Structures are given as C-alpha cells and as structure tokens.
A and B are shown apart, each in its own frame.
Chain A
Amino acid sequence: AQSVAQPEDQVNVAEGNPLTVKCTYSVSGNPYLFWYVQYPNRGLQFLLKYITGDNLVKGSYGFEAEFNKSQTSFHLKKPSALVSDSALYFCAVRDRTGANNLFFGTGTRLTVIP
C-alpha cells in the first residue's frame, strides 16, 4: 500500500530565506509524486509533480522538488520565501491503478515571517 509522511506540522521561515517542506513516501514500484498547496478557504492547487525523468522538478510560483529514490523523499523547496507563500502544503502519491487516486500526507503549514 502507498503512503506519504510529512514529518513537520509547521514550518516557519523568514522572508527571503530558503524554505524546505519535507515529504517521504512508501510505494511499491515507481512512484508518481505531487505537491499541492491550499490557501485559506480555498481548494487545493497543483504545484508540481514527478512522474519520471529528471530528479529535480520545477513547478509553479518558483517552487521545485527533488526526487530522491534512495531516501524515498520528495522535499519541496524554494530559494527565497515570500510572505504570500504562507499556506498549507500537501504531498501526495498516486496509486498504481488506472483510477488516478491520490493519497495525501497530513499537510505542513508554512508561515513566512516578514
């Protein structure tokens, strides 16, 4: 069975500093991995995905994530945080069926301090 772990409920970072939001996964076979972001009172928005190919994936709003197979990780990163990046971030893994079901982590709340 597939699963995703986000070990940090809360991450605080100063504006302008680099940010990292951690994610580890467990899945049999090759993973399909995703990051979504949720702003207050909104639905989830897609940020980026890893399906195959280059381990460094670039996505929306300057975010990127690095797929590390040996560490089974897919950490989200951004070189310079903005106050507007403050939101709830979810890592997800897709199941192996054709149904495209996503299994989500518990979420990490990112707060960027001015």
Chain B
Amino acid sequence: DAGITQSPRHKVTETGTPVTLRCHQTENHRYMYWYRQDPGHGLRLIHYSYGVKDTDKGEVSDGYSVSRSKTEDFLLTLESATSSQTSVYFCAIPSPTGANVLTFGAGSRLTVL
C-alpha cells in the first residue's frame, strides 16, 4: 500500500529465537500501529507509537517490544519467539485521505516452529 511498507513479508523461525519486523512509512505521521491477525480473533492491537521514542501498549502486548528511533520506522520485536506468536502482523498509519481512518501495510506472515 502506498506510503507504508513492511519487511520481511514472510518469515519462518524457530521457538526461542529473536525476530524483528519493520514498518516503514513515507507519510511523516506521528502515529504508527502494530496489529496481529488470527482466525477467530480478528485484528488485535499489540503496540502503538505517537512519536519518536513514544510508545504504548495495546491489548496483546505481552511478549512483544517496539522501538521508534525515527519518524519513518516502527520496529516490532519478539525477544524469544513462541509458537503462539505465529500470526500475520500488520502495521498501520492514519490515512492521509481521511480523518479517523487507518491505512494498513500488506502484512508480515510469521511462522514460529
């Protein structure tokens, strides 16, 4: 999606290894969000950021940390991945075209074996 990219798009890792997902935006927006999508749960907010070095927890933040050292990048880290963190992860930013609307990235599919 225009203005927001996620990397990697696919990753397979083993239990106990660290994993970092990157979200990059070109819209210069203060707010950035990380969600995870799981069948039967929809999308759930993990963490969000409201500026450089300003972050806060969402509803499913346990086992995840985030960092925002510059406006354009928001990193999601799994310090020690577990199988329950197998999911599709989406980054989002406020839409430049509509108030109160989020624009989502294409997603990062993570499999923890």
Which residues of A are in contact with B by a Cβ distance under 8 Å? 6, 32, 34, 36, 41-46, 49, 51, 90, 92, 94, 99-107
Residue contact A103 to B45, C-beta cutoff 8 Å: yes
Nearest A-chain residue to B58, judged by Cβ: A101
| Cα–Cα, bound, A100→B100 (Å) | 6
Contact residue range for chain B? Answer: 20 to 34
15 CB < 8 A contacts A-B: A6-B42, A42-B106, A42-B107, A43-B1, A43-B105, A44-B90, A44-B104, A49-B100, A49-B101, A51-B99, A99-B56, A103-B45, A104-B44, A105-B42, A106-B40
B17 at the A interface (CB under 8 A): no
- Rounded to whole Å, the gap between the CB of A70 and the closest CB of chain B is 23
- On chain B, the residues within 8 Å of A105 by CB distance are 42
Residue contact B101 to A34, C-beta cutoff 8 Å: yes
- On chain B, the residues within 8 Å of A49 by CB distance are 98, 100-101
- On chain B, the residues within 8 Å of A6 by CB distance are 42
Residue contact B104 to A43, C-beta cutoff 8 Å: yes
- Rounded to whole Å, the gap between the CB of A48 and the closest CB of chain B is 10
B74 at the A interface (CB under 8 A): no
| Cα–Cα, bound, A104→B35 (Å) | 10
Residue contact B102 to A102, C-beta cutoff 8 Å: yes
